[in-house]
Amino acid sequence: MQFIDLQAQYKHLKSKIDARIQTVLDHGKYIMGPEVFEFEEILSDYVGVKHVISCANGTDALQLALMAMEIGPGDAVFCPTFTFFASAEAITFVGATPIFVDADVTTYNICPVDLEKHILKAKDKGKYNLKAIMAVDLFGLPANYPEIQSLADKYQLMIIEDAAQGFGGSINGQMAGSFGTIATTSFFPAKPLGCYGDGGAIFTDNDKHAELIRSLRVHGKGSDKYDNIRIGMNSRLDTIQAAILLEKLSAFPDELIARQIAAEKYNKELSMYNDIVTPYVPDGYTSSWAQYTIKSENRDSYMKKYKEKDVPTVIYYETCMHQQTAFKGLENITDEFSRAESLSKSVFSLPMHGYMDN
Ligand SMILES: *Cc1c(COP(=O)(O)O)cnc(C)c1O
């Protein structure tokens, strides 16, 4: 059995995807071809935001968002310690300082109570300009944006939604990718909406940010790519990937339903084990089930039993950001992150995709 069965999906969509790729080979516009703009438009309708700017991957998407917000040296950005490395990496890469925040005990997302504690502490110290909160929709579940937004308003911070895993999730009908000042996602093959290589996108309703990001993704272009008015990046979504994503996006709503059904089946079957905690989804929230992640004090023995049955399991994440070697110099890593640390010792994820059989 596969952890994420990309082949099953390809079999299902093969004729459509093959035809889309062939179209690109025929017209030959490999960079910024028509499929890129078609995909951006359909994606903006799906998520419900004014602007979608595609780019080369989800990490670049975060970096482009931070650059557009003019976040850099001397600034600080709050982000969860229980996340994938890229979230915190992008903050550091633009020269800003990440301030880590502990996880919520039930959702595993950034904890708003601990967030406010860290905001007050950092304000008190006065060492950095406090600029933004980077919230991550971990395992597919949107972070607590109602609470995060009220803290952002109270302390005048911007919000970046890292929806690399959350794409497809929602809160009371509002789609992941539409929260905060700028949101980002990744089309890495194993993400809820994945392409056949690297890809990413940035979402915003703000015209100024959108215009800046369109320039930044093509070497800081002005009127054309040989008129360079700022320092940017080379970060474009390949036309072939956009063509593949057009077909994958049209199958995506059905896949979300299939993931939901699989998650409910897991919940039901696992409810009889009293040493396993199944995922918690608050009222009004839907998860895209990027991962189906359970928690148990007996993780090792369960993982071993699954392995014996040829069921692959993976630990996301064994190392919190405050424990990463790359962040060794940061002051905030000595704070208490007891919930994130306990999660890193007890969670593991089961196979999940849109083509699972009973
Ligand atoms: C995958 C991921 C990213 C980075 O996406 P890439 O396309 O691999 O660069 C960023 N943040 C989170 C939470 C992710 O899961």
3-state SS class at 296: coil
Instruction: Please report the pLDDT score of residue 35 as a whole number.
Output: 98
Q: Look at ligand 1, atom 7, and give the residue with the nearest C-alpha.
A: 58
pLDDT band for position 23 (50/70/90)?
A: very high
Query: Has residue 106 got a pLDDT over 90?
Result: yes
pLDDT band for position 191 (50/70/90)?
A: very high
User: Going from the N-terminus, what domains does the chain have, and what CATH number goes with each?
Assistant: 6-248 (3.40.640.10), 252-350 (3.90.1150.10)
Contacts for 52 with CB less than 8 Å, ≥ 6 apart: 40, 41, 43, 44, 201, 202, 203
How close is the Cα of 350 to the center of ligand 1, in Å?
19
Q: What is the DSSP string of 311-336?
A: ---B-TTSS-GGG-GGGTT-GGGGS-
Any atom of ligand 1 within 6 Å of the Cβ of 288: no
Instruction: Please report the pLDDT score of residue 224 as a whole number.
Output: 85
Give the pLDDT confidence of 26-48 residue by residue, as tens digits.
Answer: 999 999 999 999 999 999 999 99
How far, in Å, are 24, 208, 285, 293, 356 from residue 250 at the CA level? Answer: 18, 30, 22, 26, 19
How close is the Cα of 157 to the center of ligand 1, in Å?
23
pLDDT band for position 18 (50/70/90)?
A: very high
pTM exceeds 0.85, yes or no: yes
Give the pLDDT confidence of 253-304 residue by residue, as tens digits.
Answer: 999 999 999 999 999 999 999 999 999 999 999 999 999 999 999 999 999 9
Give the pLDDT confidence of 130-142 residue by residue, as tens digits.
Answer: 999 999 999 999 9
Instruction: Please report the pLDDT score of residue 151 as a whole number.
Output: 98
Q: Residue 101: how many CB atoms within 10 A of its CB? A: 32
Instruction: Please report the pLDDT score of residue 358 as a whole number.
Output: 85
pLDDT band for position 350 (50/70/90)?
A: very high
Any atom of ligand 1 within 6 Å of the Cβ of 107: no
Average pLDDT over residues 239-256: 98
Q: Look at ligand 1, atom 1, and give the residue with the nearest C-alpha.
A: 164
The whole-chain average pLDDT of the chain stands at 97
Q: Look at ligand 1, atom 10, and give the residue with the nearest C-alpha.
A: 86
pLDDT band for position 320 (50/70/90)?
A: very high
